[in-house]
Structure 1
């Protein structure tokens, strides 16, 4: 590919809030990671969100239900792309490809598979644009975790020649990328990010998120509950490792509750759990980092950001906005970049992050 090309990245994460669409321009004369040009966001309709939550658990006729959900998601993705193209005044013919992550409903690298719902063929048909999807499976086939994949983009876009940085993405699950000025890059999932806090907040308030963490900020962390939660084997497991709703969900949380706790105290404890997962990972695996930059929805949770700062004294902790990168769009941007890597026949995984036996060209291509 010579000159300027355009890719679209689609991301719908474990938070189950909606789909992020990012239009990224790549120019041989510009940064290799491309320039974010336009964005669009479409929330999940509540019935779709409820069905996606339900499909995470085994149930009746789930293969049929999953196929229907994949079609519905692809139609929503198509609408997001239409809105994105309208905002940018660009046509489908000018887009090289769509990088579609899909919606994770099972992530079982221990069993050799991962499932991200989408129908890439339908999405290509609806948009008239080639689609690249199923990014995780090849890494798992090569013995890796299949996640996190975004650290490869972090390394390409945010590594500094003299400053030791850690990039933490707080979506439904938290993950980090350790970026020393030179040497080995590592990255792995840290544990729950917003997933449990969002689910608990919705259960008790009806609101999808605890806006800025204000509801939980009125509570007090419960030491006994906190100690039970951080005893989960995931936190002490060495990387490479990845997590999902299989490990962290309301059923798991309920198994540690007596039923007498204040809802806001539990929320404060869940904030403490997210803080612990991130700070324990940093202190254990990248203690020499001087700068910690946060992206994802957790960057908007003021109470969580304050909790992280208090737990990491002596380190600069800020949103990736300080680096000129919008924290809300970094992952969608990354999947546009990963799609370009696939088109160029270049690896999209970091073996030191996922544990794969070798670098892999990721994704399957569905031509327009």
Structure 2
């Protein structure tokens, strides 16, 4: 009888302890919410913070510049402050696209649905946003409220194509992730774009080659001998290339606005290729490759030039930038060495729909 009583008491004590543990675990503010816990593998697919992110007060440390101090600094310095770059961070699991209407509306064009759906189906753990023109204006105003001249430049652009080009740089600078035009089809998940052996903590930007024309009249078709595409870009927030192109486009836009050269609905004096498109994008990338602020020139005797990318068939890493071959974002074009869509290096297919851009602006500005 004594043994039985002892067993019952032990069982009762154990039950009480278990119940007490569970109550403490549920009520403790330090206990994580089971719904918000992510495994190590899931974290590579989930965004690093909610969208839109909550506002948090900036509390400067002793000796650190305050927001008031930064407000008087040059544009590039302010962009660096408000959108810091952390190369060791993970690529945010965002996919950004833009279009006139949202996929959930009845006005979204049916021909675009398979393209848009391909990104969601291959990236189930990503936040996939198709931003409408109206929403884009509000989003840029929110993200760049601390840098008002960027908002002013965006609003001053007279053509939708200019805003669409500018938007991709702005959203990637502020939030990172992947931008891809609405007329692109994802062929492979972005988790497979880089070799598994490559340390992603050393990569901050992934770009592809749009054009590598080995012909004498290349300048009649393209803006640059080697041209990097900007219909698909992957980046970590704050990358210096994005910061530089945002500052360049902002300065150029405000200068033209001040000179009275911007009129809504009318073409600007500078071609789209050179103003916001692949021409200025390519120049900005090469400028970064040859910037002594970011690269140690003691170990190399020459600048990075077009010839460094002629005919590449595998990824090429320059500093923290990975350049993919033409097959990766331009498979099936049937020229310049591009392989077909079934090739192992084919990641994104561009349909070259371009109905929202002037026909003469996709290949070469006039």
Q: TM-score, normalised by structure 2?
A: 0.26
User: Which structure: larger Rg?
Assistant: 2
Larger proportion of strand: 1
The one of the two structures with greater contact order (alpha-carbon pairs below 8 A, sep at least 6) is: 1
